[in-house]
Amino acid sequence: MAGIITLSGLTCCKHTAVSSGEEVRSSIPVTVSTVRTQQMITYHELSGTSTFLFKATIKAPVTGYVESMEINPGDAIEKNQLLFKIKTKEATAIINDTLNNLNFSGIVNVRTTAAGLISSIDHPKGDYVAEGDQLCQIAFPESLVFVLDVPFELAGTISLNTPCEVVLPDSQVIKGIIKSHLSSMSSSSQTERFIVKLNKHKNLPENLVGKIKIVKESVKTAVCLPKTCILTDETIQSFWVMKLINDSLAVKVPVITGISDEKYIQIITPVFSASDFFLTSGNYGLGDTAYVKVIKSTLNEQ
């Protein structure tokens, strides 16, 4: 009987030892991915505001009163279209004289000499205007550009005739080119101004704020990893990845990174192969080596 009890005790101890070993070697569930080779581009992203580069000012040819206004702000007008009727000051004086029977209207028609858009009206019906007063402004839609505001310290990196992209608030993207450099700076923001001309005419309102994207750096064949693979310390000075060396063990590998986009980061060193696997999740907080269990493998499309 004593022999049976002793054997049972040994068996129990053996099971306990195995269980403890399994807890020490417990595996962390992770997902993995591989490197991919692609073109990587980084951009300067700056603010730009739409404006009509050329506008025409319509002025009163005589002194008098605005008899009628044939336009409204925002109207598209044709060449030689009637804009205003002005009754001269003399005609108003004669008509108001009950002792004068002269049939004199004194109406002067004001027409435009070019097609465009009415951007502003300065004198509505009934207003008194002197000769030379501004009646309205006409904007020429084909002269629409974006004025790019560039911080002074970045102005030296912007070159004329450089292609760029204009991203509108609705995420629409329009191709453009940096055409000229204005000689004045914005006093409030201390930015230099460049003119961005659109490659294709687009009907857009004035003072629309868009994002101007200019290529900062480009690498045609960059070896890169998903951003979720890259780990760093509190100072964001050192970077590393957790690389699988077999189906259950991952090790820490320091890396030097290059440029990045929304999803990927370029790996400059060391050189990895397409058959290497790297942890994309479950990698945070791991030591230099860790036992893992791969639950999903995401292969990057080349």
- Residue 131 in tokens: 């000769």
CA gap 296, 277 in Å, rounded: 11
163 upstream amide cis, omega within 30 of 0: no
Please tell me whether residue 78 adopts helix, strand or coil conformation: coil
Contact (CB, 8 A) for 270 and 253? yes
Closest by CA to 197, choosing from 177, 214, 215, is 177
Contact (CB, 8 A) for 292 and 282? yes
Domains of the chain: 25-40+220-298 (2.40.420.20), 43-52+142-219 (2.40.30.170), 56-139 (2.40.50.100)
Residue 79 amino acid letter: K
CA gap 12, 9 in Å, rounded: 5
Contact (CB, 8 A) for 32 and 283? no
Q: What DSSP string describes 141-187?
A: GGGEEEEEEEEGGGGGG--TT-EEEEE-TTS-EEEEEEEEEEEEEET
* pLDDT digits (tens), the chain, 302 positions: 444 444 344 344 444 444 444 445 678 999 999 999 999 999 999 999 999 999 999 999 999 999 999 999 999 999 999 999 999 887 776 665 555 555 556 899 999 989 999 999 999 999 999 999 999 999 999 999 999 999 988 888 899 999 999 999 999 999 999 999 988 777 777 889 999 999 998 889 999 999 999 999 999 999 999 999 999 998 888 999 999 999 899 999 999 999 998 899 999 999 999 999 999 999 998 999 999 999 977 665 44
pTM: 0.68
DSSP type of residue 220: E
